Amino acid sequence: MQTSHLFPGPALALTMGDACGIGPEIIARLWLDSAMPQALVLGSPEVMRRAAAWVAHARGGHAPAVVEVQDAKNWADVPVGAMPVWAPPGLPQDLMDASVGAVDVRAGRAAAACIRAAVQLAQGGVVAGIVTAPLHKEALALAGEPYPGHTELLQAEGAPAGQPPAPVRMMLANDQLKTVLVTIHMALRQAIDAVTFGAVLETIRIAHDSAKLWGVERPRIAVAGLNPHAGEGGLFGHEEIHTIGPAIQAARALGINAIGPLAPDTVFMRARHAVDHPGEFDMVIAMYHDQGLIPVKYLGLDHGVNVTLGLPFVRTSPDHGTAFDLAGTGRADPSSLLQAWRMARQLVNGRGAA
């Protein structure tokens, strides 16, 4: 029997995401479209078989074989072209009863169980990194999880025993633009208060250190202001003068090539890389969630990738949510997930993996 060693280098864990959303279907599309990533799927074999059937019906052709593996370490022993799926501990037994296209506590529990198991595999060296299909934050909360999303859950689970979680940051990236966020999932009023000297400096430092994964030793880091026109010298706010500017100066004292604070309404345009017009910067530090994510998402969801910087392992995710309105149709576009897998492999190789 020929087994599934198709690509050089170590495997990635590919988590199912919310079982009621499009995560299982876009994963199945990778196999149906012959991308066949070198990855172990963490999730319910029954859910994945159902998703594979939906995708095959919508696209035409035969559904990819879903092979349940009993030991995650033996993921590569499945036949070529088959999808290896490992059901981690904690999956609800009645997960198939959850209504597709709706928030369900069972899907939240399953998504969290897959994340925790993926972290354990990464920490144990079984996989080199993690690619996460979308989960639903409301389902996660219904499951009793204290974390608002993937980033915070991965941060907590990735901490060594007895040690506090390492600081992490969300980056959204495509071929044209990379943005790193100072604050993530919180109300805008709270986010403004969370833009502190320490938070801005730490974000710049994490972004600088992580750029080595892309082969950029001294990245050009643009730092956006918080207020319109970066405060206009104090006319529209003083955060740039008292907080963001001093953090940039402290970063520069560490040898980091940070520039700003720059007007947030133009900095992303200046940083954007086009075929005939290279960007001025390698990445942009944004102060809050929508400030940084709207520009990248406007350029297209198909190629955007969410990367968690600062974790002790590589983690990427597609740049979209669970898309309940498409769940069960087999028609969801897997492009962003494929880009997330490709970027994860790039980052793994950047860390010196064979």
pLDDT values of the chain reduced to their tens digit, one per residue, 354 residues:
344 444 444 689 999 999 999 999 999 999 988 777 789 999 999 999 999 999 999 988 788 899 999 999 988 888 888 999 999 999 999 999 999 999 999 999 999 999 999 999 999 999 999 999 999 999 999 999 998 888 889 989 988 877 888 899 999 998 899 999 999 888 999 999 999 999 999 999 999 999 988 888 899 999 999 999 999 999 999 999 999 999 999 999 999 999 999 999 999 999 999 888 889 999 999 999 999 999 998 887 667 899 999 998 999 999 889 999 999 999 999 999 999 998 998 888 765 332
Angle between helices 335-350 and 23-32 (to 10 degrees): 80
Contact assessment for residue 140 and residue 111, using Cβ atoms and an 8 Å cutoff: yes
pLDDT at 71: 93
Q: In DSSP terms, which residues pair with 259 in a beta bridge? A: 222
pTM listed for this prediction: 0.87
180 in the same domain as 127: no
Q: List, in sequence order, every residue forming a beta bridge with 172; answer none if it has no partner.
A: 179, 306
Q: Judge residue 156's burial from the number of C-beta atoms within 10 Å of its C-beta, 0-12 exposed, 13-18 middle, 19 or more buried.
A: middle
49 and 148 in one domain?
yes
269 is a domain residue: yes
The total of structural domains in the chain comes to: 2
Do 335 and 193 lie in one domain? The reply is no
**Residue 293 shares a structural domain with residue 331:** no
Tell whether 257 is covered by a domain: yes
Q: How far apart are CA 44 and CA 93, in angstroms?
A: 9
Residue 2 neighbours by CB distance under 10 Å: 7
CATH number at residue 239: 3.40.718.10
Question: Does one domain contain both 68 and 7?
Answer: yes
Of 150, 149, 147, nearest in space to 131 by CA: 150
Domain that holds residue 51: 1-165+311-354
146 and 186 part of one domain = no
Residues 104 and 54: their CA atoms lie apart, in Å, by 20
CA-to-CA distance for 44 and 28, rounded, in angstroms? 13
pLDDT at 301: 64
pLDDT of 38 reads: 82
Q: Is residue 305 part of a domain?
A: no
Residue with tokens 């990427």: 316
147 with 274, same domain: the answer is no
Same domain, 257 and 329: no
Do 55 and 146 share a domain, yes or no?
yes
